[in-house]
Structures are given as structure tokens and as C-alpha cells.
Amino acid sequence: MGSVVRPYRRVLVKLSGEALAAPDGYWLHPQTLAELAADVAATVETGIELAIVIGGGNIMRGARMSQAGWIDRPTADSMGMMATVMNSLALETALNAAGVSARTMSAVSMPTICETYARQPALHYLDRGQVVVLAGGTGNPFFTTDTAAVLRAAELRCEAVLKATQVDGVYSSDPKTDPDAKRYDRLTHDEAIQRDLKVMDTAAFALARESRLTVIVGSVHSPSSVRAILNREAASTVVAP
């Protein structure tokens, strides 16, 4: 038998914080974390190197809080960054329990809690086969975790960004409300921006276009998974140059 050809060598996975929430609304669901960790373990076993960026929307969203008017956007975004650190530490713990060597690195310096993000050490961990969980967004207000994901992917020599969402790709409209919504198999960055497809913010798509990074959009909910999407066994939309 010939050797297995992996579609990607190194990928950054962008997860929403809401994906970790329990059905009763509590901000973390242990079973979901365990299932996600098992999925990541299965992906790593195929030889794909993974970095992960996770949002904090299950705890709070800085933009939404600032819109309420009683707190300014930079302060609210700083609180949101700390929420991503909490989620990242929880995911790191679940990954370690699943037998995956993982390390949380935060763009917001918290040296007594986790390592501060720096590019060279992160590259070193990835080269050793460790999963790097990247917390704190970009470390700056006004930037989403989508933009942070593309930025880190470009920095860390990733070949693709997997945006793990609630649906199995990019649609022409919301498939939950429009039965005629069309799923795209493939788009260019320009098409995604021009059609104002809301799967990632415009700044993230623009940075991906500039960096010539492939963006894959798919669902991590059963029967799909990170492993299945990256090994082309599950439906997804590929956004590429």
C-alpha cells in the first residue's frame, strides 16, 4: 500500500465559544469538551498539526456589552479576551485528559496562568507535534477572534484555517430559515467579501486573501468533525485564491 497523502500538514482551527456551552445555558459543557478533545486527538493521529483559536461568546461578547452603553468598547473587548483564556484553559485540560499534549498561549500576558504568546515558541511546539491553544484574540480591542485566527495562521505557517460553525459550509442565505438556501462548495476570497457572506468578518477574509490562506468552513456537530472535514470526508465550503 502507498503512503497516505494528507490534504494539509498544519491547520488552525477556529472554534466559537458558543460551541462549548451546555444545553441549559451554562458556559461550559464537560461532555462537549470531551467530544471535541477526542476529535482533535483523532485529527492529530492522522499527522495533521493543529493550532486552535477559541472565542469567548459563551461567557460574554465585548461588542455586545459595549452596545449596552454603560461600558466602553476597549474595556468590554478586554473582558472578552479574558473569556477566551478561560475557554482555552478548559480545552487544554480536556485535550491533556484525552492524551493530547496541548499548551495554552495568551496574547494578553497572564504569566501566572499560562504562557504569553510569542511566535517562535509557538512554532517550536507545533513542530514537536503539540497542539497550541491560542487565547486572548490579537491582544487588542476592536479585532474579532476570526481576525486573530487568520493572523495566527499566517504567522505560524498554517496551510488553512478551519472555521468550525453550526452549519456544514457557506450558504447563500441562512439555511435554518430559508429552505432554498444554496451551499457553496468553493468560493474565492473576493467572492466571499463581495457577496457579504457573514461566515467571517471582512477583515479576516481580507487578511486571508492577502496571505493566500485557504479558509474551510464546516460543522463540528455530528456526523461531521474536525478530522472528517480536514480529510475531505464531510461537507464543507473551501474559500481559496
pLDDT score of 4: 47
For 130, the grid coordinates are 503539540
Three state DSSP letters for 146-168: HHHHHHHHHHCCCCEEEEEECCC
Closest CA to 148 of 228, 85, 75: 85
DSSP, res 18: G
User: Which cell goes with 18?
Assistant: 458558543
Number of helices (H), then strands (E), in the chain: 8, 11
* One-letter amino acid for residue 143 of the chain: F
pLDDT of residue 216: 96
Which residues of the chain are under the pLDDT cut of 70?
Answer: 1-6, 62
Domains and CATH numbers, the chain: 10-239 (3.40.1160.10)
pLDDT at 27: 87
237: cell is: 465550503
pLDDT digits over 110-125, tens only?
Answer: 999 999 999 999 999 9
pTM for the model stands at 0.93
Per-residue confidence (pLDDT) for residue 6, from 0 to 100: 60
